[in-house]
A and B are shown apart, each in its own frame.
Chain A
Amino acid sequence: MNYFYKKYIPYLFILPAMVFLTVFFFIPFFQTIILSFNDYSNDIYNPVFTGFDNYVKLIKSSEFYTTLINTFLFLLMVVPFLAVFPLIVAIFINRKIKGISVYKVLIYIPVVVSIVVVAIAFKWIYASQGILNYIVQKIGFMPVGWLTDTKFALFSVALVTIYKGIGYYMMIYLSALIGVPQDLYEAAEVDGANEFYKHLTVTVPQILPTIALVVTISSISALKVFAEIYVMTKGGPLNSTKTIVYYIYERAFENLDLSMASAASVVLLIVILIFSVINITFFENKRYKL
């Protein structure tokens, strides 16, 4: 069946991509692990092997502990919302109504705009005398320091991540909704189910794998949050918005503490690896099958 080709041909085609993946993925991956077992603080060119010392230091550091808690709190704020709300939007957009795709384009706009601009726009909305505090006061509450109060800052940042993600996950849900057989809805209608109940009993079970997929992808991207925090709070106030990637960035590029940055990177690698393995073995195994 296969036409003839010389034995080395396949490798020749793969080689260029492999060179780049090796230089910019595989080598850095192993280097991160090696760096995390060495101490660079005395002489950056003559590291000392210190075993698990960096990890012990990391575990004992209350700053890193806060960082981890913040990261998971952030994940818990973002993921449930991004799993549910885009699905509701997608169900509405999936209706066959003339001109409905205009909404799809409008709702997708925040996805294509740079996160830096989105974060700046929200910083303006969150300003102490800004528009959000006006609305808050109008409905009878005290104005809030959205980005300056330790109780609210992480939530405020999470809202930006949610806002930026709605259109993206809506598209994933839309492509799943197209695959739901129409006759299932007709059967539910015959049984007298209302609109809400119809989607609860037909749509949700039918696209359950996609919901699970959205939960894992949005978890992974929540764990990687950086730009929102960098632009809006720089991890503050009092570390209340410092998440793991921001911590790594700060250690590596501001404090030049290669060892601690790498140990934290390995922690991030392990956490994301767990999510990815769950994702690939349960939800995307068909997608990546040989």
Chain B
Amino acid sequence: MIKKLFKNTGTHLFLIAVSFLSLFPFIWLISTALKGTDENIFEYPPVFIPKHITFVNFIETWKKIPFLIYFFNSFLVASFTVILNLILSSLAAYPLARMEFKGKNFIFCLILSTIMIPFQAIMLPVYLIVLKLHLVDSYGYTTGYLGLILPFAVNAFGIFLMRQAFLSVPKEMEEAAFIDGCSIFNIWLKILLPMTSPTLAVLAVFTFIGSWGEFLWPSILLTNKALYTLPVGVNDLQGMFSANWRYIAAGSIISIIPIIVFFLFMQKYIVSGQNEGAVKG
């Protein structure tokens, strides 16, 4: 009994240490952001809990940086990316899971082969195509948003994930519906989609987080600050506040609040252990 208790203590200590290290960079940012100008942020030994906690850095940063606009842009781009991924992936996955047709294997292999093409290696032509399609912010807000969304509207992981989910739905349900005169589209919409909603949720959550954190593409594409998404806006803090680490820290912390809240609400879909990191670009 005592030995068992001791064994668990060791586990807890180890995991507390790893958790602390995982949170440390954020704790240190918060600590810095809470220090006023009367405190030296470079003091040795470092002070974790400020002598006079102040929110002035948060307030000033909030005033100077249009965070609400960045939140809105990130939310809009991530939401539409999610919706498109759900629709396109589940549409394409249906015949690949359920129907027999000419060229099925070829099409499936073609889709899977895109997994091997990293976006970073083709981003230059993607940029040229997006320019040619006028999907950039110099033509207006809508085209700017579309340019951020459309290149990530579908990916092979999503199609693959939905195909696996459809394969696990018993065929009898569809056959019964079909005999009752249900169209193929309605079978997809009213039987398969509701039955695979847990997988759709997993796909939605991972696509949302991926899109929310995307940095490379928006930083290439955007020229108008009004369309900046959070990662681009946060990176901009460094230039705006040069070496004012109190403001940079405060801005960074403000920027991660939405995704942390989202994660805590959606954690059952994320850390359930059955996703096997199914979605990663």
Contact = CB atoms under 8 A, between A and B. Distances in A.
A269 B129 contact: no
A9 B238 CA distance: 52
Contact of A9 (B45, B150, B184, B270): B184
A276 B156 CA distance: 14
Nearest to B91: A13
B190 interface: no
Contacts of B184: 5, 9
A29 interface: yes
Interface in B1-34: 8, 11-12, 14-16, 18-19, 21-23, 25-26, 28-29, 32
B118 interface: yes
Interface stretch (B50-58, B59-67, B101-109, B193-201): B101-109
Given A10-B104, A121-B26, A172-B277, A29 B122 contact: yes
A11 B23 contact: no
A272 B124 contact: no
Contact of A28 (B92, B108, B129, B260): B129
B38 interface: no
* Residue picked from B18, B28, B245, most chain A C-beta under 10 Å: B18
Interface in A96-119: 97, 100-101, 103-110, 112-118
A89 B18 contact: yes
B209 interface: yes
B46 A95 contact: no
B159 interface: yes
Q: Which range holds the interface residue count of chain A?
A: 35 or more
Given A107-B18, A117-B234, A131 B118 contact: no
Given A14-B96, A109-B22, A112-B259, A24 B120 contact: no
B123 A252 contact: yes
A107 B89 CA distance: 30
Contact of B234 (A103, A114, A272): A114
A16 B158 CA distance: 14
B99 A265 contact: no
A118 B209 CA distance: 15
25 contacts: A2-B100, A5-B99, A14-B92, A16-B87, A17-B159, A18-B92, A21-B110, A21-B111, A23-B129, A103-B15, A110-B22, A112-B209, A112-B259, A114-B212, A117-B231, A124-B28, A124-B32, A163-B21, A169-B277, A172-B277, A175-B273, A226-B215, A248-B123, A252-B124, A265-B122
Top 3 nearest A-B pairs (CB, nearest first) are: A10-B95, A121-B25, A28-B125
Interface of B: 8, 11-12, 14-16, 18-19, 21-23, 25-26, 28-29, 32, 42, 44-46, 87-89, 91-92, 94-96, 99-101, 104-105, 107-108, 110-112, 114-118, 120-129, 150-151, 153-154, 156, 159-160, 171, 174-175, 178-179, 184, 188, 209, 212-213, 215-216, 219-220, 230-232, 234-235, 237-238, 245, 248-249, 252, 255-256, 259-260, 262-264, 267, 270-271, 273-277, 280
